[in-house]
Homo-oligomer: A and B are copies of this chain.
Amino acid sequence: MINKDMKFFIVGLGLLGGAYAKALKKNGYTVYAADINEDSIEYALENNIIDEGAVSDYNSLIEKADVIISGLYPTAMIEWLKENQKYFKKGCIITDVSGVKKGIADKVQGFLSEDFEFISSHPMAGKEVSGVRNSDENIFKIANFIITPTEKNTSEGIKFARELGEILGFRNITQLSLEEHDKMIGFVSQLTHVIAVSLMNTNDNTHLVEYTGDSFRDLTRIAKINEVLWSELFLLNKEILVKEIDDFAAELNNFREKLVNEDVEGMKKLFIQSTERRKLFDRKDVKNRK
């Protein structure tokens, strides 16, 4: 489905958009890009990460593209697609990198012309840094690529997304409904970020820095967070995330009660259960990283 003559247009040349560009260029594809940041485009041109790029007046580049990839934040993407779909080539395919799907993918499919297909996907890869200068296509090697089709998508569109995930070099490519995706991401990614942020904000304990070991550092690594992107992602998944926070808070309180009541056997059971469950995550990890 994807062939070497196809031309890719990436809007939003940040950490992910930049990594997509690098991987596509490495595989011999033509890559155009647009970004609001002049420096990002200049850097990408100088380093041969893209073939052509611009911060404005890039209609002619859009018109040549067979594939349009949005590396924008979800709400910015919606605005951009609304304004620019008039330039899209008939039959072109569009995908994104949004971390939340319900309310995004279905909304886009609602206003997009039937001349194009929007197939949503989520590259579950990131870093605590941003921008094309920090982009690295190697982060995909240990990451998941999740395709989230709706009933509006064709089997051709899904096949395209799968091939794109392969070209980008993802370890694992799977398919979920919008709802399944957002529920999964609410627990695996969003709740963990809420926990890390809240732990870091629990009193000012920065005077304890000299006593911290790997446990604390690992647990709070993701407390360094892009406040604009993540507040947007959290709002888009509000109901699911609030439920996840409540479930976690209830479990935390369950532990607290056992401690207060000096219920040693109860605490031990919780430790044994967490140890058993966590082992499953280990094995998979080791296997996949071989």
Interface residue ranges, A against B (CB under 8 Å): 124-125, 142-144, 146, 172, 174, 184-185, 187-189, 191-206, 208-228, 230-231, 234-235, 238, 241-242, 244-256, 259-260, 262, 264, 267-268, 270-275, 277-282, 284-285
Asked if B188 and A272 make an inter-chain contact with CB atoms under 8 angstroms apart, the answer reads no
Q: Which of B188, B198, B255 contacts A255 (CB 8 A)?
A: B198
Query: Roughly how many angstroms separate A279 CA and B200 CA in the complex, as a whole number?
Result: 11
Asked if B260 and A230 make an inter-chain contact with CB atoms under 8 angstroms apart, the answer reads no
Query: Roughly how many angstroms separate A210 CA and B242 CA in the complex, as a whole number?
Result: 23
Asked if A259 and B273 make an inter-chain contact with CB atoms under 8 angstroms apart, the answer reads no
Q: Which of B187, B224, B250, B254 contacts A279 (CB 8 A)?
A: B224
Asked if A277 and B216 make an inter-chain contact with CB atoms under 8 angstroms apart, the answer reads no
Tell whether A210 pairs with B279 under 8 Å between CB atoms, given A199-B195, A262-B235: no
Asked if A256 and B252 make an inter-chain contact with CB atoms under 8 angstroms apart, the answer reads no
- Which secondary structure characterizes the binding site on chain A? helix
Tell whether A249 pairs with B247 under 8 Å between CB atoms, given A205-B187, A216-B192, A225-B271: no
Asked if A200 and B277 make an inter-chain contact with CB atoms under 8 angstroms apart, the answer reads yes
Count copies of this chain in the complex: 2
A-B contact pairs, 10 of them (CB 8 A): A174-B211, A187-B205, A189-B216, A194-B255, A198-B254, A206-B277, A212-B281, A218-B219, A231-B264, A231-B267
CB A216 to nearest CB in B, in angstroms, measures 5
Asked if B144 and A211 make an inter-chain contact with CB atoms under 8 angstroms apart, the answer reads yes
Query: Roughly how many angstroms separate A278 CA and B280 CA in the complex, as a whole number?
Result: 29
| Chain B residues whose C-beta falls within 8 Å of the C-beta of A246 in the assembled complex | 256
| Chain B residues whose C-beta falls within 8 Å of the C-beta of A222 in the assembled complex | 215, 218-219
Tell whether A249 pairs with B238 under 8 Å between CB atoms, given A187-B205, A209-B280, A219-B219: no
| Chain B residues whose C-beta falls within 8 Å of the C-beta of A256 in the assembled complex | 242, 245-246, 249
Closest 10 CB pairs of A and B: A227-B271, A200-B274, A218-B218, A223-B274, A227-B268, A197-B274, A223-B278, A198-B252, A231-B267, A198-B251
Specify which of A226, A253, A281, A284 lies most central, judged by the most chain B CB atoms within 10 Å of its CB: A281
